Structure 1
Amino acid sequence: MQFGQSEDILHDYFKDALIPALNRQGIENVGAFEETGETLPKKIYLLIPYKNMQEYQDVTDDLEDDTQFQSGSETYQNTPPDKIPFERYESRFIRSSWGFANLVKPGDDLDQFELRIYESYNEDALRRKIKMFNEDEFEIFDNVGLEMVFFGKNISGGQMPSLTYMLAFEDKEKHQEAWSKFGNNPDWQRISILKEYENTVSDITRVFLKSLSYSQI
């Protein structure tokens, strides 16, 4: 986001034009978040779940013919350059895996989120890490109280090759307790030392988010 610039134009566009238009086309549970803390430049995240790439293409094309969307987005589209609230945006496509195939909407009491990006040094390392999740880690997460929202392999964007997933939690204390249980879990300790899963993660990015008032997650 642009430092010192009003964000209202972008929030109104998401809330009153884009998200309702996506809902009309059957896209549910669109998430809208901002980073917690005082990190600059400020970032806003939009999470849009599509069933497949064809649905993404169809929805994108249909937005051009949605007169309600076009009318609702006029203020945003006509904003002059010196008033636009962001510098640039980045899009990332993330493909879910069989172990966690669909986005899961968390309970209303879970409005804090952790976004985690695991980078791998090559594609085979990423394949092995995704296998580790599919066959063991999802079950461990569930057992220790780490609430998954989505998981998938990044197929475009930065930090490639990589996977991304999101966790929802009530507060940081309970979140930390769950991660502590994960580290001490005997199944995790067993699989973490298997030779097959050596050198699968070369870097981890953690981003803490909070849902915006109009978020559907």
Structure 2
Amino acid sequence: MAKKIFIGIALLFFTFSYSQKEFYELRTYELNFGKSANLLYDYIEKALIPALNKNEIYNIGVFEEIGDAMPKKLYLFIPYKSINDYYEAFEGLKEDQDYKKVSNSYMKTSPNDFPYLRYETSLFIAFEGLPKMIKPDEGTSVFELRTYEGYNEDALNRKIRMFNESEFKIFEDVGLHSVFFGEKIAGPQMPCLTYMLAFKDMEERNANWEKFGPHPEWQRIFGLPEYENTVSNIYRIFLKPMSFSKL
């Protein structure tokens, strides 16, 4: 009995501790060469997004890479208010009759005609300094998705602290418009963090990043010992929203 009470208190503490932070899912679909992706697009636009909206999950972003990247990929960003919302949405799709009806053609398509083989998904918890995502302004056409790997958990934690204590303010000052910042809790490349920025166009993006390095606060923190060796690798992708994206 005492053990059950302890577990219950621990779960309550976990839920309370993270209730103010959003959770994010980021899916990457690698599309099959030579196959039409319209089936996947229709599924996401007409079946998945409406079903998630019924569970009060909004601001779902759907993106493709800028340029002619090969293989072609589709990126799906889903923000959840809590980890419990993620679970309820995941389970709810299995019982949603409207979702089943609208997604029927997608579910019944033969393997030979399916637009992708697998999708990769990752889960993130938002940073303390940006606990909720920010929906970008209308007219945003360029999204920059960046992943920073740390060589171990301590390095990653120190980089997250660097963002929370200083870099968010620098980003705001120079016009690097944040969408979300997340520490990965499940998925490849761990330990790592991922964040997304939004810009009107590539010209704004380039001009505002040029302001980052000379910023006085960055010059102050760049060489501090506590932030040494925090990032071992950086991955950067430029994305544009699909016509049915909600971001």
Q: Give the TM-score range, shorter chain.
A: over 0.9
- Aligned partner of 1:154 in structure 2 is 184
Distance (whole Å) between structure 1 residues aligned to residue 82 and residue 141 of structure 2: 27
Distance (whole Å) between structure 2 residues aligned to residue 208 and residue 151 of structure 1: 16
- Aligned partner of 1:192 in structure 2 is 222
Is 1:126 the counterpart of 2:156 in the alignment? yes
Between 124-133 and 183-192, the greater mean CA deviation after superposition = 183-192
Instruction: Work out which of the residue numbers 34, 38, 55 in structure 1 matches 2:68.
Output: 38
Deviations 1:45-71 (CA, angstroms, capped at 9, x unpaired): 000001121111111111111111010
Q: Which structure 2 residues correspond to residues 44-193 of structure 1 after superposition, within 5 A?
A: 44-193=74-223
Q: CA deviation at 1:111?
A: 2.3
What amino acid maps onto 2:185 in structure 1? I
SS at match of 1:148: strand
What amino acid maps onto 2:34 in structure 1? G
Deviations 1:126-179 (CA, angstroms, capped at 9, x unpaired): 000000000110110000000000001011111111000000001111101111
TM-score by length of 2: 0.87
Look at both structures and tell me which one has the larger radius of gyration over its CA atoms.
Answer: 2
Distance (whole Å) between structure 2 residues aligned to residue 103 and residue 70 of structure 1: 29
Distance (whole Å) between structure 1 residues aligned to residue 207 and residue 222 of structure 2: 20
SS at match of 1:93: strand
* Runs of 4+ residues deviating >3 angstroms: none
Q: CA-atom RMSD, angstroms?
A: 0.7
In the alignment, structure 1 segments of 5+ residues that lack a partner are: none
Distance (whole Å) between structure 2 residues aligned to residue 193 and residue 49 of structure 1: 34
Instruction: Indicate the percent of aligned positions where both proteins have the same amino acid.
Output: 51
Distance (whole Å) between structure 1 residues aligned to residue 225 and residue 209 of structure 2: 23
As a proportion of its length, which structure holds more strand?
Answer: 2
Distance (whole Å) between structure 2 residues aligned to residue 85 and residue 36 of structure 1: 20
- Aligned partner of 1:16 in structure 2 is 46
What amino acid maps onto 2:74 in structure 1? I
What amino acid maps onto 1:48 in structure 2? I
Deviations 1:72-94 (CA, angstroms, capped at 9, x unpaired): 10010001000100121001001
What amino acid maps onto 1:122 in structure 2? N
- Aligned partner of 1:215 in structure 2 is 245
Distance (whole Å) between structure 2 residues aligned to residue 87 and residue 59 of structure 1: 23
TM-score by length of 1: 0.99
